[in-house]
Amino acid sequence: MNTARPIVLCLSGHDPSGGAGLQADIEAIMAQGCHAAPTVTALTVQNSVDVLDFRVLDPEWVFAQARAVTSDLTIAAVKLGMLGSLEMVDTVAEILRGLPNIPIVCDPVLRAGGGGALGKDEVGYAMRERLLPLASFATPNLPEARILAELPEGTADQCAEKLLPYCQNLLITGGHGDEQEVHNRLYSRDGSSKTFTCDRLPGSYHGSGCTLASALAGRLALGEDAATAVEAALAYTWRTLRDADHPGKGQHFPRRL
């Protein structure tokens, strides 16, 4: 009997503070009862306060990591995080074409939680054109959705209308606003939409987007349907923020395990 946990291939950047990036992915995926296989796309220099620098890996290194993993392990879902360059978007698109018919969650990372840039807006447009059509889910927060949709003042509904032609399911999170309630909105290609509401927690968090997208990928790897997986991933993420640590001088770190 094979009792192995479902494996989620992560293609994301490394954050040496451990609050976001691949470490967030690994922890959130483990917490769903899955195994994370982390392929590094980029290295960052940052802490809980700010991003100081980042460097995108050579495509050959990313191909080689992914090839080594996919030639050996059975991948149940893929989670995409920081890619950092147009070249890395193309590299990842090619890797994904070798992995048909599995759920793919694309977190279109362009900024760190503290606001520091992790990729130019053009990287977001390339993700929209080349990766969203391959993904089952995109999980932008509202500021990211506005960049991807090229609607600087757009509402979530307006951004969704512009972005749904590119991807099957869009989960636009509302954590970056200041209303007392956070509205996370799930839009699907079949025209349905659902709003998940939760109380806003005080504080600002580093790695909340990584946590949510990875938990969602884990839930999909377990075989849950889209709405069930989204609900479970949002509830898990909210708990990690409620229980967050404040280890440094900047943002809080979600407590994922």
What are the distances in angstroms from CA 117 to CA 54, 79, 114, 144, 187? 9, 20, 9, 12, 27
Does 254 sit near ligand PLP (CB under 6 A)? no
Binding string, residues 154-193; x marks residues near ligand PLP by CB under 6 A: ----------------------------------------
Q: Give the C-alpha separation, 222 to 136, whole Å.
A: 15
Does 148 sit near ligand PLP (CB under 6 A)? no
Long-range contacts of 228-231 (CB under 8 A, 24+ apart): 230/171, 230/186, 230/196, 231/196
Does 208 sit near ligand PLP (CB under 6 A)? yes
Does 207 sit near ligand PLP (CB under 6 A)? yes
Stretch in the footprint of ligand PLP (CB under 6 A) among 8-16, 59-67, 123-131, 225-233: 8-16
Spatial neighbors of 220 by CB under 8 A, at least 6 apart, are 77, 103, 105, 136, 137, 226, 229
Stretch in the footprint of ligand PLP (CB under 6 A) among 2-10, 27-35, 68-76, 203-211: 203-211
Residue selected from 7, 10, 11, 20 as contacting ligand PLP according to rule CB under 6 A: 20
Q: Give the C-alpha separation, 226 to 126, whole Å.
A: 25
Q: Which is nearer to ligand PLP, 1 or 205 (CB)?
A: 205
Task: Tell whether the torsion through CA atoms of 60, 64, 67 and 69 is positive or negative.
Answer: negative
SS3 173: strand
Residue selected from 124, 140, 175, 209 as contacting ligand PLP according to rule CB under 6 A: 209
Binding string, residues 74-113; x marks residues near ligand PLP by CB under 6 A: -------xx--------------------------x--xx
Stretch in the footprint of ligand PLP (CB under 6 A) among 27-35, 94-102, 190-198, 204-212: 204-212
- Please list the alpha-helical segments (H only) found in the chain: 21-31, 59-70, 86-97, 121-126, 142-149, 156-163, 208-221, 226-242
Does 210 sit near ligand PLP (CB under 6 A)? yes
Q: Which is nearer to ligand PLP, 13 or 154 (CB)?
A: 13
Residue selected from 206, 219, 252, 256 as contacting ligand PLP according to rule CB under 6 A: 206
Note the residues at the interface with ligand PLP (CB under 6 A). Answer: 12-13, 15, 20-21, 44, 46, 81-82, 109, 112-113, 118, 206-210
